[in-house]
Structure 1
Amino acid sequence: MAETPALLDQTHAAKGLKCASCHGNAEQREAVTMTKCIKCHNTEKLAKKTKDVKPTNPHENRHFGTETDCAKCHNVHQKSENYCGSCHLRFDFVVP
């Protein structure tokens, strides 16, 4: 039986990040925007890292270049999803 991958909140916590690192310290936690993600995750470096993914690089695409909103695919507190697959059926990316 395949092991269920960890959610991204668990992955971040395992690396020592606290909720406030992304959500802020307010009583009502802030939604996390892409601007917050790119403080740690450089989109151009990520696009270079995934340049050989087939059939196309999900981090550098004809619609958004390297600036696709991270949350389109990467969900932090629930299973992530392949946003590209909703239109491009052959793009069967596995999304962490």
Structure 2
Amino acid sequence: MPATICVETLRKKLKKFEIDLDEDIVAITTDGASVMVKTGSLVPAFQQLCYAHGLQLGILDVLYKKNESIRQEPIDDDILDNSEAESNDNDGRPNIS
């Protein structure tokens, strides 16, 4: 729904409890969706965006969105050969030190 309709609906619901949005409400908490940010700008109350929602969105971006710009470089076979040789003693047993 548009922000203006959201404010109208909020006013109607609060009026059922004899609460005035302009006089009785000093702050509101909303998520960061653009319609809710606009709703907060249309009412005189202080608006606090929900930090938990912002954190959740950031975590979901990191965990679930593919990043096509990350590219895995091929492993150099010479590096593997040298590290394996350094990890073994002269008799071919692994070096556990």
TM-score, scaled to structure 2: 0.23
User: Which one has a larger percent strand, Structure 1 or Structure 2?
Assistant: 2
TM-score, scaled to structure 1: 0.24
Larger radius of gyration: 2
User: Which one has a larger percent helix, Structure 1 or Structure 2?
Assistant: 2
Structure with the bigger RCO (C-alpha within 8 Å, sep 6+) is 1
